[in-house]
Structure 1
Amino acid sequence: DFFTPIVDDAFAYGQIAAANALSDVFAMGGRPITALNLMGFPTKLVSPNTITAILRGGLEKAAEVGCAIIGGHSIRNPEPIYGLAVTGVVHLRNILANENARPGDLLLLTKPLGTGIATTAIKRGIASRALEKTVIALMSQTNSVGAELAERNLVRAATDITGFGLLGHLANMCRASKVSAEISPDCAPAISDEIFELIKRDCIPGGTRDNLKAARQTADLKSTSPVQRAFLTDAQTSGGLLLCVPESRLSQVSRVLKKARTPCAAVIGRITRQRNHLICATK
C-alpha cells in the first residue's frame, strides 16, 4: 500500500505510510516478516535529504514490529508516493477474516476516528497544532495487537478501518458474514472535539463525501445528524481495528488492548441477524 504525503514532516510521512501498510497483515492476525519499499518522486523537486527522511521513517516503523525491509523499487513520479509491499505469516487456524461475524458479537474499535478530516485541515492550514500532533501520533501507531488477539483466539472477525471509513468497512464485514449491525454513533470515539467543529466548517475530504454517498445505500442513518454522518464515513489513513468480540471474551480482549496501549477500546455496537439495512445507527 502507498499514498501521497498527508503531513509535511518527511519522517512522520514515512512512519505513517509504513504503519498503514503493515496494518493489512495485522488485521488478518498475521505478523509481518519482510517488506519492500515502494517509492516515486519528482527528483528535481524533492531533495535527497527529504527522501532519506521518508525512508528512515518507514525503516524504523517496520523494525519496531520485527519486519525487515529487504529492498524495494523506485521510479520518477510527478508527485511523491511512498509505501510498503509487506509479506507476513499466519497459521491457518488463526486467520482473522471479515466473514466470520456472528449475531451477538460486540463491535470494538481500537483507534478514534477523524484522520481524514484532520489531515484535510492540516493541508488547509486550519488545524490546531495540538490536533496535528495527536493525529500524526495516532496514524504512526501500528495495529500489532491484531496478531496477539488472533493467536489467542479471542476475536471472531476483524478488519482495519481505512479508506472506506467505519461504515464502509463495517458494511463489507456484514455483507461477507451475511449479518447486519447496530451501532451507537455517540459511542464512536473522535480524535478530539475539534473534528466536529471542522466538519461544521465543511472541512471534509472527497473520499469521505464518496463514502457518505455509498453509506446511504447500506445504512439506516435517519437518527444521525449531518455531522455524525460525515464523521462515521470519514476516510481513514492508518486507522484502527474493528473487532467482532463474543461478549464472553470482552474482558479478556480489553485486558490485551490495555496492555498493548491501543488508543481506545470502545464498544460501538453489536452484530445482529440480517435485516433490510446492513447497518442501523441507533440513538
Structure 2
Amino acid sequence: MTTLRLTQYAGGGGCACKIPPGELDDLVAALACPLSQPVDPAAELLVGLEGGGDDAAVVRLDAERALVTTADFFTPVVDDPYDWGRIAAANALSDVYAMGGTPWAAVNLLAWPRETLPMDVAAEVLRGGRDVAHAAGCQVSGGHSVTDPEPKYGMSVVGIVHPDRMLRLDAAEPGRALTLTKPLGSGVLNARHKATGTVFPEAVAAMAALNGDASRAAVAAGIRAGTDVTGFGLLGHAYKLARASGVTVAIDASAVPFLADARRAVADGFVSGGTRRNLAWVEPHVDFGAAPEAERLLLADAQTSGGLLLAGEVPGHPVIGEVLPRGAAPVVVRA
C-alpha cells in the first residue's frame, strides 16, 4: 500500500492547490453583498465574509456560546495515505482553532479515483483523519464521497467559541507582538517530496500537529486577533490580517523559524506554482527592503496545516515581529 505514490495522482499538492489568492479575493468580494441577506435568519452572523473572509464562519447561539463552522480539503501532500489523512484533518480542525474555538464534530469529505486507486488506501486516509480528530476530542461521523479523477480529502468541522473571546482577522492592535506557532517550509519540502519521493519526517510531524494548545494559550493570554498560516503563506496571511485590521504588520525575517532542509529545497528549485503566485499577489503590498529572492519565496511559501499567526505573545513560541500603526505598506519585512 505504501509503495503507491499518492502525490503523483494530483496536479497540485496540499494547500498549494488552492485557488490563487487574488482570484479568490475577487470571488469572495462578489459574494459579500450587504443587499443579500437570509430571510428571517435563525442565528446572528458574528464573522462572515467581511475583510476578505476569516478562517471560519461564526454564528451566535447565546451570550456565551457561538457556533464555528468550516470545511477544508485538498489533494495528497504526501505519499503515505495515513499521514495524508492526519495532515488533512489537522488542517481542517485548525480553522476552528484559528478562531479561538474548540472543535466538536466533523464529517469526512472524500473524492476518490476508485478505478485507479484501491479503496483500502482510501480507508487508510480516513483512519488517519479519524485518529487526529479523536486526539482533538472531536467526534467524527459519516460525511460525503464522490468519484473523482484526483484524490481529495478533508473535513467539515463544527466547533464552539465564546463570542467575546474569539480570534479574528480584524482585531489586531498596534503595539502587539507577532507570534508564529509552527515553522515554515512545508510547501517547498512537499514539492521536493512530490518530485523525488524523499520523506521529511519533521515536516510531516509539523503538519499533523494540532494547533489546539497554541489556540487555548492565545485565548487565555487575552489575544483576540489571529489566523492560521496555510496556502497563502506567511506573507499572504499577514497581509490579510493587516488589511482587515487597518494596521501594518512588521516581520523580522531573522526571527522566523523554518523546517530543516527548507532553505536547501528553495536553493535547489523546489518551489510550487502556488508559492510563486502568493509572492506575485503580495509584492505590491509588502516593503521587502533588501530581502533576497530566496527569503521572499520562503516567506510566501504555500503552507499546509501551518501554525497560528497571532497578534500577541504566547509563551513557548517565537515572536517574529510586531503590529504597527498603518504605514505606507501593510506588511514590512525587516532583516
Give the CA deviation at 1:116: 0.5
The answer as to 2:335 corresponding to 1:278 is no
Report the counterpart of residue 197 of structure 1 in structure 2: 264
Separation (CA, whole Å) in 2 of partners of 1:115 and 1:99: 27
Query: What SS is found at the alignment partner of 2:84?
Result: helix
CA spacing shift, 1:222–1:30, aligned 2, 3 Å: same
Contact 2:166/2:224 (<8 A) preserved: no
CA spacing shift, 1:220–1:151, aligned 2, 3 Å: closer
Report the counterpart of residue 220 of structure 2 in structure 1: 152
Contact 2:232/2:300 (<8 A) preserved: yes
Report the counterpart of residue 39 of structure 1 in structure 2: 110
The answer as to 2:152 corresponding to 1:100 is no
Give the CA deviation at 1:147: 4.1
Separation (CA, whole Å) in 1 of partners of 2:176 and 2:184: 21
Report the counterpart of residue 137 of structure 1 in structure 2: 205
- Which one is further off, 195-204 or 56-65? 195-204
Aligned-residue CA RMSD in angstroms?
1.2
Report the counterpart of residue 220 of structure 1 in structure 2: 287
Report the counterpart of residue 130 of structure 2 in structure 1: 59
Instruction: Give ranges in structure 1 of 5+ residues lacking alignment.
Output: 259-264
Give the CA deviation at 1:174: 0.5
Give the CA deviation at 1:232: 0.3
Contact 1:2/1:17 (<8 A) preserved: yes
Report the counterpart of residue 59 of structure 2 in structure 1: none
Separation (CA, whole Å) in 2 of partners of 1:281 and 1:150: 24
Contact 2:181/2:214 (<8 A) preserved: no
Query: What SS is found at the alignment partner of 1:94?
Result: coil
The match for 1:83 among 154, 157, 164 is 154
In terms of fraction of residues, the more helix-rich structure is 1
The answer as to 2:161 corresponding to 1:161 is no
Give the CA deviation at 1:43: 0.7
Give the CA deviation at 1:156: 2.9
Contact 2:165/2:224 (<8 A) preserved: no
Separation (CA, whole Å) in 1 of partners of 2:85 and 2:310: 27
What amino acid is aligned across from residue 218 of structure 1 in structure 2? H
What amino acid is aligned across from residue 228 of structure 1 in structure 2? E
CA spacing shift, 1:150–1:183, aligned 2, 3 Å: closer
Report the counterpart of residue 94 of structure 2 in structure 1: 23
CA spacing shift, 1:83–1:41, aligned 2, 3 Å: same
Separation (CA, whole Å) in 2 of partners of 1:151 and 1:221: 31
Contact 1:98/1:159 (<8 A) preserved: yes
The answer as to 2:305 corresponding to 1:238 is yes
CA spacing shift, 1:151–1:211, aligned 2, 3 Å: closer
CA spacing shift, 1:212–1:42, aligned 2, 3 Å: same
Separation (CA, whole Å) in 2 of partners of 1:182 and 1:17: 30
Separation (CA, whole Å) in 1 of partners of 2:105 and 2:207: 21
What amino acid is aligned across from residue 80 of structure 1 in structure 2? P
Give the CA deviation at 1:207: 0.6
1:169-196, Cα deviation, whole Å (9 max, x unpaired) = 000000111000211111111101x211
Separation (CA, whole Å) in 2 of partners of 1:126 and 1:224: 31
Contact 2:180/2:319 (<8 A) preserved: yes
Alignment of 1:112-127 (within 5 A): 112-125=183-196, 127=198
Separation (CA, whole Å) in 1 of partners of 2:224 and 2:215: 13
The match for 1:183 among 251, 256, 268 is 251
Contact 1:94/1:150 (<8 A) preserved: no
Which has the bigger relative contact order, CA under 8 A and spacing at least 6? 1
Give the CA deviation at 1:214: 1.1
Give the CA deviation at 1:126: 6.5
Give the CA deviation at 1:46: 1.4
Percent identity between the two aligned chains: 40
Separation (CA, whole Å) in 2 of partners of 1:151 and 1:266: 17
Contact 1:38/1:72 (<8 A) preserved: yes
